[in-house]
Amino acid sequence: MKQSWKPGTMIYPLPAVLVSCGSVPERYNLITVAWTGTVCTNPAMCYISIRPERYSYDIIKEEMQFTINLTTEDMARATDWCGVKSGRDFDKWKETGLTPVAGQQVTCPYVEEAPLSIECKVKEIIPLGSHHMFLAEVVNVLADERYLDPESGAFDLGSARLLNYSHGFYYKQGDKIGRFGWTVQKKKKKK
């Protein structure tokens, strides 16, 4: 039997990402975001949702760009710290030891330590209540070569030990159980 609860956002787990913003070093900032996801494949689009009172909100709203940086188990402490401290009071890059690198298609930096950085340009800001959604087009994806298979050139994001967020807690990504479509894949005949 299931209990009935008040409406809430219980869609977990979510990626715990660091969103970087700011077009000049004096404005560079990081914000931890779990309200993020894919919106469209073609054109490639995603979103982040941020409370208007957060320091990064005004930076992103003014510059209309940001970079989503996936995080790893090794980045867990920095990811949490950036979510509870404000860029108004701290240089989050300095405090966490993360490295800002100049963006390629946007003027905000990306996090060098991230396995994947997704450069985005905001198309629309949608006020939703407690959070405003920044709907954005992906203009570039930067993949860390450490996660490229030397033979096939395929990106192995699973080996990055990605960080997930679930109802107030962080988790490292678990074991792979299958590939998209594996339940209907025809079995290879033995020779």
pLDDT, tens only, 16-43: 999 999 999 999 999 999 999 999 999 9
Rounded Cα gap, residues 76 and 169, in angstroms: 11
pLDDT, tens only, 142-186: 999 999 888 888 888 888 899 999 999 999 988 888 888 888 988
Domain ranges in the chain? 14-172
**For the chain, what is the radius of gyration of the CA atoms?**
18
What's the rounded mean pLDDT across residues 124-150?
Answer: 95
Q: Which position has the higher pLDDT, 151 or 86? A: 86
What's the pLDDT score for residue 152? Answer: 86
First to last CA, the chain: 49
Do the beta carbons of residue 13 and residue 170 sit within 8 Å?
no
Three-class DSSP labels, 85-106? CCCCCCCHHHHHCCCEECCCCC
β strands within 108-191, DSSP E: 110-111, 116-127, 132-143, 163-166, 169-172
What's the pLDDT score for residue 191? Answer: 65
Scanning the structure block, which residue is given the tokens 């890059």? 93
Fold for the domain defined by 14-172: Pnp Oxidase; Chain A (2.30.110)
The DSSP-derived string for 45-61 is EEEEEE-TTSHHHHHHH
